[in-house]
Amino acid sequence: MWRAGRRVPCPAGAPVPARTRGAQCATCTALDRSSSIAADTRPDDPRAFAVYLAHHGSVVKVGITAEERGSTRLLEQGALSSTVVSTGTLMAARRSEHLLTTALGLPDRVAAQRKRTARARPGTPGERAAELLATAERVHALPAWPPIGQTPREPHVTDHTTAYGLPPSGLVPTAAVQPLEPGQTVTGRLACRIGSDLYLDTAAGLVLLDTRLLAGWALHPAPGDAAFTAGLEPLDDPREPQALF
């Protein structure tokens, strides 16, 4: 875990299961959350925080991020487009987030599978901008907006798809890399990176690699002609209608 700008090793030296999407054991994860913005255990953080709306295809979510981080938090979560609606203190940002969740029904989390499905049909920047601006208008129309400690911001939509290299036609992987085992090889040409996901062009087609599965593994470069030996799980095409029966 990170403390005071440095990495501290696990006190128990606990192994991390291959299927875990992270590099920490349960104890280290709990310790990390004991000093975390996300877990509300650092209420005295003096930095300015922004309240944002993030577009994830089929849903717009609300969240907060330190203003000094710019768009980094949005890129980490794989938002397709975003806009800031207010800035101010941390606790006021939390109150704002809660207000938008309860008053407008905006979620503060989006499941990874829902984000991946949205990448198959990302739509156009103009369509996403229109939806974000309409949501921002609803935000600013709230009688209690913004809570004390936050200053409203004129919405300006930023499109993030060009930063990822996400094509307008979308991405539809045919398979996903399964949890790794020692000695396995992952090869391919990087087609796109969004959040923690890599999309690789391989001999088997477009493959999704959740890089959280790589956490804790010692990685070594493979020869250019190395074969892809990691296990693959076939994926359904999210664009195809699902059968009712």
Lowest mean pLDDT among 125-134, 191-200, 231-240: 231-240
CA 33 to chain centre: 18
Lowest mean pLDDT among 23-37, 52-66, 161-175: 23-37
pLDDT (0 to 100) of residue 146:
94
**Helix-helix angle 90-104:125-140, to 10 degrees:** 100
Residue 55: HSE in the Cβ half-sphere, 13 Å Cα cutoff = 27
pLDDT (0 to 100) of residue 227:
93
Q: Which residue has the higher pLDDT, 241 or 219?
A: 219
CA-to-CA distance for 1 and 89, rounded, in angstroms? 26
Q: Give the residue extent of every domain in the chain.
A: 49-164, 175-234
pLDDT (0 to 100) of residue 2:
65
pLDDT (0 to 100) of residue 219:
86
pLDDT (0 to 100) of residue 13:
77
CA-to-CA distance for 225 and 90, rounded, in angstroms? 51
pLDDT (0 to 100) of residue 38:
54
CA-to-CA distance for 73 and 51, rounded, in angstroms? 12
End-to-end CA distance of the chain: 47
The segment with the largest mean pLDDT, out of 4-8, 155-159, 238-242, is 155-159
Q: How many CB atoms lie within 10 A of CB 63?
A: 23
Contact (Cβ atoms closer than 8 angstroms) between residue 199 and residue 192:
yes
Average pLDDT, integer, range 80-106? 97
pLDDT over 80 (residue 6): no
pLDDT (0 to 100) of residue 18:
67
Classify each residue of 107-131 as buried b or exposed e, where b means 16 or more C-beta atoms within 10 Å of its C-beta: eeebeeeebbbbbbebbebeebbeb
pLDDT over 80 (residue 26): no
pLDDT tens column, 48-79: 999 999 999 999 999 999 999 999 999 999 99
pLDDT tens column, 179-214: 999 899 999 999 999 999 999 999 999 999 999 998
pLDDT tens column, 109-127: 999 999 999 999 999 999 9
CA-to-CA distance for 104 and 56, rounded, in angstroms? 17
CA-to-CA distance for 210 and 213, rounded, in angstroms? 6
Phi, psi of 101, rounded to the nearest 5 degrees: -70, -45
Average pLDDT, integer, range 232-240? 87
pLDDT, mean over the chain: 89
pLDDT more than 90, % of the chain: 69
Ordered DSSP codes for 11-40:
TT-----TT-SSS--HHHHHHHHTT-TTTT
